[in-house]
Structure 1
Amino acid sequence: MNNPEQSVGGVRGWLRGLEVFSGPLPEFLPEEAPDDPVRLFLVWLSDAVADGLPDPHAMTLSTVDEAGDPDARVLILKDVDASGWRFAGHAFSPKGHQLSVHPRAALTFYWPGHGRQVRLRGPVTPGSARDNAEDFLARSATARAEALLGRQSQYLADPAERDQALEKSLGLIGRDPSLVDSAWTLYTLAPVVAEFWQASADRVHTRLRYERTPAGWARFPLWS
């Protein structure tokens, strides 16, 4: 592989030469979209799954910290229904701390093979103790053991220390498979805005914005 820095035009020229939206893209007619963004989202998600797009349920969660600086990471969607989009995490993790201070967030889904993007913004609420426990126990033993350590994103001085702690945590789970981390949280983002974006090879993209109103959802086509 050529070094991008040594290519003609450097990194900028190399990036501009990369193909995007080169394959056949699905059609999106906003006037035929359902009144509810949940229904349209599930159609697009189902299309991505049916066509074998990788990690179709992966999404970017964006939050802000105490200073108002943005932060983002990729998570897996846990569920979606009329009440909102759900994801999970440890309350003592950076995102958990950030959501406790600023309980609002944004979610972004992107399916490159279809040239489709969905953006959501709204308040975030934690789940009940029962819902949190059910989500925690549905995780693999290793994932549960790691969560029980409660040290996500802390500095790691020695991988051997992590491995020993994880082995000990796995032992706890082996002795008590029903063990639940009380800090594990299932969050729900209830969007006040949902935007659906369909790419076009000619760059005249199609965008549809849903806005929550007291009477329900209102739809607005947007300039590309």
Structure 2
Amino acid sequence: MTSFRARLRDLQVLPDGLSGWELTDISVLPGTPHELFETWFDEAAAAGLHAPHAMTLSTAGADGTVAARTVLLTDLSSAGWWFAGHATSPKGRDLAANPHAALTFLWQGVGRQVRVTGAVTSHPEAGAADFRSRSAGSRATALVDHQSEVLDDLADHREAWSAALAEVRADPELVVPTWTAWCLAPTTVEFWRSGGGTGQTRVRYRRGGQEEAWTTELLWP
């Protein structure tokens, strides 16, 4: 029987025929990583990639334990990258104890990856607006809450979710008090791209603080 390691080695990582990123002059890059990210995001969506707004959120708690999970990008503004959830969830507790995080976007179908790191702030009012904009099913899931707690019987969740669904449908203005929006204000944003026969290209935007201008630099992949 073929070993698991060998089976992994046989898997294709990127599609064939991808164009590379022959960036000979980094001065042609946009002035902010926000602009380049939006361009890449639109191109990923136009290529038909499923859920290009899905990202890995990595946090660390007060004791230094690192956790990662997939969440959805809810907005992009000059302030930063936005996502939402329960302030009482594991990620919320991590961010309360250590308000720094990293986001990773992998757009495998176009051979691109973006990494965003920086400080995170909580915005409950924006969270309330985000909650109201969600589908009834998503709001019902949030209303049930108990995220990451031990569940004795799946039927208990189904019953609670059905009751919550009826509640949010009856009151479209209902907002879960613990729901918040977070904004990650980046200090570094890295863009990575690979293409067939061209090798990898990696660019980093960095700055020391929110008032500083961005510096762009090529990195060894």
Are the equivalent residues in 2 in contact too, given 1:92–1:183 (CA < 8 A)? yes
Are the equivalent residues in 1 in contact too, given 2:59–2:91 (CA < 8 A)? yes
Offset of 1:26 from its aligned partner? 3.0
- For residue 168 of structure 1, the aligned residue among 153, 163, 171 is 163
Stretch deviating more after TM superposition (57-66 or 19-28): 19-28
Secondary structure at the residue paired with 1:105? strand
Are the equivalent residues in 1 in contact too, given 2:20–2:200 (CA < 8 A)? no
Are the equivalent residues in 2 in contact too, given 1:23–1:113 (CA < 8 A)? no
Q: Which amino acid aligns with 1:219?
A: T
Gap runs ≥5 in structure 2: none
Offset of 1:65 from its aligned partner? 2.1
CA distance in 2, matches of 1:54, 1:174: 28
Aligned twin of 1:14: 7
Return the TM-score normalized by structure 2. 0.92
Secondary structure at the residue paired with 2:82? strand
CA distance in 2, matches of 1:126, 1:81: 15
CA distance in 1, matches of 2:94, 2:74: 20
- 1:35-70 deviation line (CA, Å, top 9, x unaligned): 210010011001111111121111110001232111
Q: Which amino acid aligns with 2:219?
A: L
Stretch deviating more after TM superposition (101-110 or 165-174): 165-174
Q: Which amino acid aligns with 1:101?
A: A
RMSD after superposition? 1.6
Stretch deviating more after TM superposition (88-97 or 20-29): 20-29
Secondary structure at the residue paired with 2:199? coil
Q: Which amino acid aligns with 1:15?
A: L
Are the equivalent residues in 2 in contact too, given 1:92–1:150 (CA < 8 A)? no
Secondary structure at the residue paired with 1:56? coil
- 1:131-181 deviation line (CA, Å, top 9, x unaligned): 111100111112112212221111110111112212222232233221111
Q: Note the 1:17-32 alignment, pairs <5 A.
A: 17-28=10-21, 29=23, 31=26, 32=28
- For residue 118 of structure 1, the aligned residue among 106, 114, 121 is 114
CA distance in 2, matches of 1:175, 1:16: 52
Q: Note the 1:26-105 alignment, pairs <5 A.
A: 26-28=19-21, 29=23, 31=26, 32-105=28-101
Aligned twin of 2:154: 159
Aligned twin of 1:106: 102
CA distance in 1, matches of 2:11, 2:161: 42
Are the equivalent residues in 1 in contact too, given 2:19–2:195 (CA < 8 A)? no
CA distance in 2, matches of 1:98, 1:47: 33
CA distance in 1, matches of 2:212, 2:88: 37
CA distance in 2, matches of 1:26, 1:42: 19
Q: Which amino acid aligns with 1:114?
A: V
CA distance in 2, matches of 1:11, 1:167: 41
Stretch deviating more after TM superposition (163-172 or 112-121): 163-172
CA distance in 2, matches of 1:145, 1:19: 39
CA distance in 1, matches of 2:30, 2:168: 45
Aligned twin of 1:3: none
User: Which stretches of structure 1, 4 residues or longer, exceed 4 Å deviation after superposition?
Assistant: none
Aligned twin of 2:218: 221
Gap runs ≥5 in structure 1: 1-5
Percent of aligned positions that are identical: 44
